[in-house]
Structure 1
C-alpha cells in the first residue's frame, strides 16, 4: 500500500509571506513613498516639514536626517532609507536629502525595468557599474585649489554657505554664519593641517536673532554654581576636574557608634566638619580658582569653597568634564590627595551667564591646552534655534569634508556631469546592463530637476537647458533667483559642495537600492 506524503509546514500559521513581483513592488513602493516625503525640502528653496509626535512635541525642519528620524516608519524596506540618511549624516554630516531622493529615484527607475522583464540581477550589476562611472565623473569635477590658500578659504566659506542656505538661516544670515564656521575650523586645525571635528561645539541659545551668533574660544556648558556666594566670573583661572564626591567619607563596613555625652557629640561634629573643611583647604592651598566636580558636593563644603573664593560646579556630565579638561589642560583627578599645581589647568576667563531661558551657562574661554571652540548660535524661538543648530552643524561637517576630499560645483552641476558621463559610457557597455546605467543617469537627473521645481522653475525646460549648457560650457547648475530659477555657472555664484558628500550619497543610495532590488521574498513572523 503506497504511503501518503504529508505536507511540510515550515512557517507558523500566523506568519505572512509576500513573494516574487509582489514583494519587489511592495518594497519599491515603500522606498519611493519615503523619498517623496523629503523631496520638497531639497535645495535653497526647499520647504520645511512640521513633525508632531505622540506627546505633542513639535519639530520644524527641512533637514532630511531629522525628518526621517522623526517619522514613525514600520516598513522594513522604507527603514533602509532611514538607515541611508543616518549613514550619510554620520559619514559626512550633509547630503541626507540628496541620498534619500536618489534612492527613491533609483527604485522608481528599476520599477520600470522590472515591468519590462529585466532581471533584478542585471539591474543590480548595472547600478554597480554606474557607481564606478559616477565616481569618475565626480573626480573630473574636482576644483583644483590648494588647501591653505586664499581661494581655498573662499571656497570653504562658499561650502558652508551652500550647506546652510535654505535651512532656516536666510540668505544674508547664511553668509555671516559661514564666515564664523570657517573661522572655527581654522582655530581647531593643527599645524599639520588636520582638523579636530570634535573640538568644534555648537550651542543653541534663544532670545536674539541669528546675527548675534558668536564664536567663543573655548567651551560652553550648562551648569550653575553650587553656592550663591561664589564668584560668577574668574579671570586667569586655575582649574581642576575632580572625579570624587566631596562629602563625609562612608566606611565600607556597617558600624554603629554610641555617643553618650554632649562632648562626644560635639567632637564627632567637629571631626566631620574638619574633614569637610579640609577639602576646601586642600583646593585653596593648591591654588584652585575653579572646580568642576563630577560627583556631589556637600552643602557645607560648598560654603567653605565660597568662603575661599572658589567657583565650583557639581554633578558635571562626563562629556563636559572631558571638554573642560581638553581646553584647560587640567588632569581629571580621582582624589584630592597630593594635588599639585601641575595637575591644574588654565583658562583666561570662566564666567557664569544667564541665557534667555533663565538657565546658567558657564563659558570657559582661552584655555592653554586646546584649540576647542564653541559657536553660540542664537535664534528668536526654540524652533528657530533648533533648526539653526542643525544647519550650523551640517555646515561644520561640510567644511571638514571639503578640506579632506576637495570640492565640486554645486547647484546640481555635478549631478548633471554625472548623468552626462553615464550616458556617454553606457554606449560601450555590452548587454542589458546598458539599460540600467542609462536608468541610473535618469535617476541622477532627477536631483537638479527637483532643485528647479522647488525653486519655482519648469523642471523639464530647466533640465533641457542644463544639458545644453553643460555640453557647451562644461558646467551648468540651477541658480535660485528670486522666486524662480535660471541656469548658470555655480562657481560664479559661489555655490560649491564637498566632493565627499556627492560620493557618499551616490554610494549609500545605490547600495541600499541594490539590496532592496535583490529581495524577492518578504516573511513577517508573528
Structure 2
C-alpha cells in the first residue's frame, strides 16, 4: 500500500497547478485581447460573428463581440464579465478594458518569471492604478456644455460605421440626452432607438415625443387623437380563464345564453370603467379580447394590447400616466396626457407617435439605414454615444483622447515608480508600460509607424498634456483643439475594471474543474481542447495525487 495513489477528486477532474494554471489563464486573456484589439479606434476593423442559428452580426463594438462569442475558457469568461460591467456602468470602453487587462497580465508574467512574488506584483499594480486615477482627475477638463457633449459623442462613434453621418447623429444624441436630463442625471433607458431599414442614415431624426413600434388593435379605431387622455393598464381587458378544476353545468339553451350574456356584461363593465375615467387612449400590457375591442372601438377609444414593458415605462415617463395593476383604480387623476397621438407609416413600419407632452422624461430616435446590418451597427454606435454623453453630463469632466492621457499617465507613473523603493517599483513601471498599448494600438490599426509616433508623442508631452495622435493624418496634434474628447468616468472605470480583472487572474494558483467544464468535446486533431488552449503538461491524470508515503 506504500506506493498506492490516493484519489481525492472525482475521476475525469482536470487540475492545473501553480505556474501551469497561471500560464493557461494569462494565455487565454492574451488570446481574447488579440481578438478585440484590432477593433480599437477610428481605424479599427470589423468582426463578422455567426451564431448557431446562422444569424450574422458585423461589428467592431467590443461589448457586442464579447457578448456574441461563446467563450469557454473560465479566465477569459471573467474578462468578458468585467467588460459587460463596464458597458453597464458607463456605456463604453469595453475594448479598452480587455486590451489593458491583457497587457497587464503579459507584463505580470514577465515579472513573475524574473522571480518577483505575485503579491508584490499585485500590490504594485494596485498602487499604480490608484495613482493613475489620481492623475486622471488632475488632468481632466471641466465641461458638459453642448459643444463638449457633441465632441464626446462624435469621438465615441468614430470608426463604428457612422463616420459619414456622425455630425448629425451626434446632434440627435445630445438633443435626446438634454431633453430627458433631470437634475444632472440621464436615464438612457428612457431613450428608445427605433430602427427602420430603408433610406439613408442622414434621414434619421429625433421624435418630438416618443415612438412605439405598434399600431392600434383595429383598423376601425381612430388613427389620430388630439388632447389624448392616456390610461396605462397592467390588467387584462378580458375575461379571466376558468380554473381547470371548475365545472359548469348547463342543461338548457337558455342557461347557455344567460352564461354568455353574463360574460358580455362583465367585459362591458371593464370597458365602461375605462370610458367613465375619461380615457380616450388605452395602452394595455396584457391582453384585450375581441368583445372588449368591439366596445372600445364603439366608444371611439384608441387601444393597444401586449405593449412591451419598456414602452409602458417610457409612456409613463413622457405622459405622467400611472401604471395600474387593478382597473378599479382607474380614474381621471391617474390618466396621462399628450397633445397628439397618431399612427404613421414609415417604409413598411406602422409607428405610433406620442407628441406634445408636458415636460417629457422620455424620447425616441428614429434610425434609418439602407439595410438591417447598417442600422444594427449604427444603433450600437448610438448606444455608446448615449452612454458617454450621459456620463459627461453627470460627471462634468472629460479627458483628451487620441492616446494623449495614456502618454501623460506613462510619464507621471514612471516618475512615481522612481520614488518607490523595492521590487514594487518594477510592478509600477510595468503597469505604466502596459498603458502604452492604447496609443500603440490606435497607431497600428491606422497602419502608421508606431515606433516613431510613440516617440513623437512622448516628446510632445514635454510641452503639452493635450498632444495626441490624429490617426487620419498621422500627425501629433492638440486633441483638445481637434475636439477628440472622452469622459473621465469611462477612463477611470476602464482602469479600475482592468486592474481588478488582472488581479483576480493573477491570484489563481490552482485550477480544478470537471473535464466537461474545460473540454466538452475533447481535444481536436491539433491536441487543443475547445477552449482554444493546449493541454497543460504535468497534469498526471488530473484527479490523482502523488503516492503518499
Range class of TM-score, shorter chain: over 0.9
Q: How many residues align structurally?
A: 513
**Mapping of 1:8-19 within 5 angstroms?**
8-19=6-17
Closer/same/farther in 2, CA of residues 32 and 334 from structure 1, 3 Å limit:
closer
Aligned-partner SS, 1:500: helix
Q: 1:164-208 CA distances to partner (integer Å, 9 max, x unpaired)? A: 1111101x4111111111111111122x33333332222222112
Contact 1:207/1:378 (8 A) holds in 2: yes
Closer/same/farther in 2, CA of residues 273 and 138 from structure 1, 3 Å limit:
same
What TM-score do the two structures reach when normalised by structure 2? 0.89
Aligned-partner SS, 2:511: strand
Q: Write the distance in 2 (CA, Å) between the matches of 1:369 and 1:270.
A: 45
For 1:59, the equivalent position in structure 2 comes to 57
For 1:485, the equivalent position in structure 2 comes to 474
For 1:39, the equivalent position in structure 2 comes to 37
For 1:389, the equivalent position in structure 2 comes to 379
For 1:160, the equivalent position in structure 2 comes to 153
Q: Write the distance in 2 (CA, Å) between the matches of 1:160 and 1:55.
A: 34
CA shift, 1:480, in A, is 2.1
Q: Write the distance in 2 (CA, Å) between the matches of 1:271 and 1:27.
A: 68
Contact 1:218/1:371 (8 A) holds in 2: no
CA shift, 1:271, in A, is 4.0
Aligned-partner SS, 1:103: helix
For 1:380, the equivalent position in structure 2 comes to 370
Q: 1:190-245 CA distances to partner (integer Å, 9 max, x unpaired)? A: 2x333333322222221122211211233222323221211122222111012222
Contact 1:45/1:454 (8 A) holds in 2: yes
For 1:361, the equivalent position in structure 2 comes to 351
**Mapping of 1:302-321 within 5 angstroms?**
302-321=293-312
Closer/same/farther in 2, CA of residues 58 and 167 from structure 1, 3 Å limit:
same
Contact 2:191/2:364 (8 A) holds in 1: yes
**Mapping of 1:177-326 within 5 angstroms?**
177-190=169-182, 192-248=183-239, 254-261=246-253, 265-326=256-317
Select which of 67, 78, 81 maps to 2:76: 78
Closer/same/farther in 2, CA of residues 214 and 295 from structure 1, 3 Å limit:
same
What TM-score do the two structures reach when normalised by structure 1? 0.92
Q: Does 1:340 align with 2:338?
A: no
Select which of 453, 460, 467 maps to 1:462: 453
Q: Write the distance in 2 (CA, Å) between the matches of 1:74 and 1:338.
A: 51
Aligned-partner SS, 1:351: strand
For 1:120, the equivalent position in structure 2 comes to 118
Closer/same/farther in 2, CA of residues 269 and 465 from structure 1, 3 Å limit:
same
Q: 1:68-89 CA distances to partner (integer Å, 9 max, x unpaired)? A: 1111111111112211211110
Q: Write the distance in 1 (CA, Å) between the matches of 2:3 and 2:38.
A: 57
Deviates more, 1:327-336 or 1:180-189: 327-336
CA shift, 1:269, in A, is 4.0
Contact 1:46/1:454 (8 A) holds in 2: yes
Contact 1:217/1:371 (8 A) holds in 2: no
Select which of 496, 506, 509 maps to 1:517: 506
Closer/same/farther in 2, CA of residues 74 and 298 from structure 1, 3 Å limit:
same
Q: Write the distance in 1 (CA, Å) between the matches of 2:256 and 2:436.
A: 84
Q: 1:489-522 CA distances to partner (integer Å, 9 max, x unpaired)? A: 1111100000011111111111111121122222
CA shift, 1:259, in A, is 4.9
**Over the residues paired in the alignment, what is the CA RMSD in angstroms?**
2.1
What runs of 5+ residues in structure 1 fail to find an aligned partner? none
Q: 1:400-451 CA distances to partner (integer Å, 9 max, x unpaired)? A: 1112221011111111111111111111110111111111111101100111
For 2:343, the equivalent position in structure 1 comes to 352
What runs of 5+ residues in structure 2 fail to find an aligned partner? 516-549
Contact 2:204/2:365 (8 A) holds in 1: yes
Closer/same/farther in 2, CA of residues 308 and 101 from structure 1, 3 Å limit:
same
Aligned-partner SS, 2:127: helix
Q: Write the distance in 2 (CA, Å) between the matches of 1:416 and 1:8.
A: 55
Contact 1:328/1:368 (8 A) holds in 2: yes
Closer/same/farther in 2, CA of residues 35 and 249 from structure 1, 3 Å limit:
closer
Select which of 370, 388, 403 maps to 1:412: 403
